[in-house]
Each structure stands twice: as C-alpha cells, then as structure tokens.
Amino acid sequence: MDVHRRVLLQRALGTTAAILLAVTAVLVAPASADHEEGCRKYAQVPNPFVKIVAEHNTFDTNCLQAPAERNFRIYLQNNDSDPHNLSIYSKDPADGKAEQLYKGKAVKGPQQQEEYAIEGLPSGTYYFQDDKVPDMYGKLQVEEKKKK
C-alpha cells in the first residue's frame, strides 16, 4: 500500500508542477512581450490615455503611443515601495541636451497611482524616464495626425 500511495503522490506533484508552469507562462508572457515588442497604444476615447506600471524598479513597457496634437493622460501605477515618477523629454535624457517637456509628480507606493495630464505634442519620438531611477526609461511615439 505504501508504494501505491507514493506513486499517487508523485503523480499529483508532477501534475501540480505542470499546472504551475503553464499558469506562470500565461501570466508572465504577455508582460514580457509587451516590454520587448511594439508600443503600448493609447485608448482611443474622447480623452485618450495610456497606463504604465512601475514594479521591481522597471516599467512594464519601454514604449508608449500618444495621439498627435491632442491632450492625453498617462496613468502611472507604482507597485514598488520606493517613489517613482515619469517625465517626458525632447531627446534621450542620457544625451545631456534633452529638454524636459513634462515632469510628473512622484507616486509613492505600493499600489498607488497618479494621473498625468499631458498637453498635446507634435508628432515625433520623445523619451520618458523616472528621474530618480534613470534606468527606467522608454520612448513615447506620438503618432502623426490622421488626415480626414
């Protein structure tokens, strides 16, 4: 009887491990893919917005999209215990010649969120970063205004 129980226990543990591995792949893969590929698109609603999350001293994406010449909002959710912010620059801030176009208020964490109201920008590529953790950065792609 001990052998039978041991075999059942091994099967149960194997099944549990396989399920946990599958769930982890489903939950982690979308965030990783979003961070590496393409831009996070803004919600195309009357008041466009995009959301970004700070966790483990990194943003969950390194590329955001916004509409050209339209006001939009960025929601920054901070899941870390340290404060984070998001500022927008005309060029890569590492360049040293970048102009700060917007400075977001620091969001204390964890699980706190701040809404940043951004005035419309001309189409082009801008940069964003956390001013206290410069390794947290990315591009802001402002789409060209669509012709009617």
What is the predicted pLDDT for the residue at 109? 81
Read off the amino acid at residue 125: T
Taking residues 99-117, report their average pLDDT: 94
pTM over 0.75: no
Contact 125, 138 (CB under 8 A): no
- Could you name the CATH architecture of 49-142? Sandwich (2.60)
Give the 3-state secondary structure of residue 75.
strand
Query: Mean pLDDT over all residues of the chain?
Result: 81
pLDDT: which is higher, 44 or 64: 64
What is the predicted pLDDT for the residue at 31? 38
pLDDT tens digits for range 8-30: 656 654 554 444 444 433 333 33
Cα 122 from Cα 86, distance rounded (Å): 19
* Structural tokens at position 79: 């899941």
pLDDT tens digits for range 29-48: 333 333 445 899 999 888 99
Cα 29 from Cα 24, distance rounded (Å): 8
Band of pLDDT at residue 94, cut at 50, 70 and 90: confident
Taking residues 76-97, report their average pLDDT: 93
* Burial group, residue 133, by CB count within 10 angstroms (0-12, 13-18, 19+): middle
Among all chains, which residue has been given the structure tokens 């012709």? Answer: 147
Contact 86, 52 (CB under 8 A): yes
Cα 44 from Cα 66, distance rounded (Å): 9
